Amino acid sequence: MSVVVKVKNAETGATLDMELEPENTINEIIESAASFWHRDSGAYVLRRGKKVLSGSSSVRDAPLITGDVLELIPDPEGG
Amino acid sequence: MRKIVRAGYQDEDRLDRSRRIEWLDLDRICGSTAVLVGAGALGNEVAKNLALSGFAGITIVDSDTIEMSNLSRCAFFSEEDAYRKRAKSEALAEAVQHLHPTMSVDFKKCRIEELPSDFFQQHDIIFGCLDNINARLHVNSHSRLAGKPYIDGSMRGTLGRVFVSLPPDGPCLECAANSSHSKIAALRFSCTGSETAVFVPPVPAEITTTSVISALTVREGLRLLSKEAVPLDGQMIYYDGLRNTLELMEVDVDPGCPNHGI
């Protein structure tokens, strides 16, 4: 059964609703959101509250539920 | 026995003021050696903090030479260094030696990947001030294999984060990585692994971001070495300089991470 989550772009404050299947992964959410916002040239992590979600986790394993708010945040790589 | 104290004796001890900070375990800090990987903007600031904190030794690793464009963010590099194309690692080593003359200072002008695998075992704590994901993951895995704590700082613009990786059980940097990191890592290198295939102009850190992240990076090292302070484990500090917010975020061990269970 699919779930619908809200993904927030931490850089702009923009949000989008994303429909997910249980087998979708956090990696797929990150890639889809980054692509939608044309943020393909950087590394990002996805968090729910204080927790950074593991890229290989599935929606089922995370577990994500309808109404969850996830935030896409840049993972800086410079030094 | 009567003890005679000479007035003003405290000011002859370079670490007297640090000794007054009760939670700092100065004996342990002054007996510890650190590796500093990356001698750029963040590396300059971290090296300064390590020297002033009283570390017994530091080995600085960086393969780059100094460019004029480095001078707006690196306190220890000069125009003469840039004209001479001096090695960043060498110039920084010389500068921190002046700050702390009795500290053992060494430098390696090479990529961290070129050093022997036992290099990390020769030190007590590893600080990462790198500018790319591939080198970060290399230092992360080798620190863990050597059983050494790794504290990684990174920045972009007004954003920064500090990650503390404590072997053997805590999550590591790779646990927090995902496919976007793999994509960036793959973009930066050609199929031979040696030449840049795609050039993406980096967004530099604003210099006050560097000050904040370097302080947090070294602070975590000092907390780790001081018994009475509880170090971060499984958490990363995330700094947003535009909002002036600091957050702690939790990272779990990724069961698929290759660095766990080796």
In chain A, which residues have their Cβ closer than 8 Å to the Cβ of B204? 78
Check CB contact under 8 Å for A54 and B159: no
Check CB contact under 8 Å for A52 and B181: no
Residue A12: inside a domain: yes
Q: Which of B153, B183, B249 sits opposite A52 (nearest CB)?
A: B249
Q: A–B: how many Cβ contacts below 8 A?
A: 98
Q: Which of B180, B200, B204 sits opposite A44 (nearest CB)?
A: B180
Average pLDDT over residues A13-25: 97
Quickly state the pLDDT bin for B125 (edges 50, 70, 90).
Answer: very high
Q: Is A23 exposed, middle or buried (0-12, 13-18, 19+ CB in 10 A)?
A: exposed
Give φ, ψ of B139 to 5 degrees: -65, -40
Q: Which residues contact B64 (CB under 8 A, 6 or more apart)?
A: B39, B40, B87, B88
pLDDT tens, position by position, B44-53: 999 999 999 9
Residue A17: inside a domain: yes
Q: Which residues contact B236 (CB under 8 A, 6 or more apart)?
A: A52, B161, B162, B163, B164, B176, B248, B249, B251
Q: Which is higher by pLDDT, B261 or B253?
A: B253
CA atoms of B139 and B113, how far apart (whole Å): 8
CA atoms of B152 and B236, how far apart (whole Å): 10
Average pLDDT over residues B223-241: 87
Q: Which residues contact B196 (CB under 8 A, 6 or more apart)?
A: B188, B189, B190
pLDDT tens, position by position, A31-71: 999 999 998 778 999 999 999 999 999 999 999 999 999 99
How many other CB atoms sit within 10 Å of the CB of residue B206? 18
CA atoms of B169 and B52, how far apart (whole Å): 31
Residue B50 in contact with residue B217, Cβ under 8 Å? no
Residues paired with A46 in a beta bridge: A72
Which residue of B178, B236, B245 to mutate against A (max A Cβ within 10 Å)? B178
Q: Which of B40, B43, B133 sits opposite A77 (nearest CB)?
A: B133
Residue A29: inside a domain: yes
Quickly state the pLDDT bin for A6 (edges 50, 70, 90).
Answer: very high
Q: Which of A26, A54, A78 sits opposite B155 (nearest CB)?
A: A78
Kind of pairing, strands B150-156 and B125-128? parallel
pLDDT tens, position by position, B129-146: 999 999 999 999 999 999
Which residues does A contribute to its contact with B (CB < 8 Å)? 26-27, 30-31, 34, 40-47, 50-52, 54-56, 73-79
B176 touching chain A per CB within 8 A: yes
Residue B58 in contact with residue B108, Cβ under 8 Å? no
Predicted local confidence at residue B34, as pLDDT: 98
Predicted local confidence at residue B191, as pLDDT: 47
Helices (H), chain A: 26-36
Predicted local confidence at residue B7, as pLDDT: 83
Residue A46: inside a domain: yes
Q: Which of A27, A42, A75 sits opposite B161 (nearest CB)?
A: A75
Q: Nearest-CA residue of chain A relative to B41?
A: A79
Average pLDDT over residues B161-174: 94
Check CB contact under 8 Å for B254 and A30: no
Question: Do you find a cis peptide bond into B168, omega within 30 degrees of 0?
Answer: yes
Q: Which domain holds residue A43?
A: 3-74
Average pLDDT over residues B18-36: 94
User: A-contacting residues of B 64-123, CB under 8 Å?
Assistant: none
Rama region for B38: left / alpha / beta (φ>0; ψ in -120 to 50; rest): left
Token pair listed for B199: 């050039």
Residue A43: inside a domain: yes
Average pLDDT over residues A8-36: 96
pLDDT tens, position by position, B81-112: 999 999 999 999 999 999 999 999 999 999 99
Q: Considering chain B, what percentage of its residues have pLDDT values greater than 70? A: 94
ipTM, two decimals: 0.90
Q: Which residues contact B117 (CB under 8 A, 6 or more apart)?
A: B142, B145
Predicted local confidence at residue B5, as pLDDT: 80
Number of folded domains that form chain A: 1
Distance (Å) of CA B57 to CA B8, B34, B40, B179, B227: 29, 6, 19, 37, 20
Q: Using the predicted structure, report yes or no on whether residue B198 has a pLDDT greater than 60.
A: no
Could you give the 3-state DSSP secondary structure of residue B98?
A: helix
Quickly state the pLDDT bin for B190 (edges 50, 70, 90).
Answer: very low
Average pLDDT over residues B145-165: 96
Residue A32: inside a domain: yes
Q: What is the CATH number of the domain that holds A36?
A: 3.10.20.90
Residue A79: inside a domain: no
In chain A, which residues have their Cβ closer than 8 Å to the Cβ of B259? none
Q: What is the mean pLDDT of chain B?
A: 91
Quickly state the pLDDT bin for B229 (edges 50, 70, 90).
Answer: confident
Residue A52: inside a domain: yes
Q: Using the predicted structure, report yes or no on whether residue B201 has a pLDDT greater than 70.
A: no
CA atoms of B195 and B140, how far apart (whole Å): 22
Q: What domains lie within chain B, and their CATH numbers? A: 24-250 (3.40.50.720)
Q: Using the predicted structure, report yes or no on whether residue B212 has a pLDDT greater than 80.
A: yes
CA atoms of B195 and B186, how far apart (whole Å): 11
Q: Is B159 exposed, middle or buried (0-12, 13-18, 19+ CB in 10 A)?
A: buried
Quickly state the pLDDT bin for B13 (edges 50, 70, 90).
Answer: confident
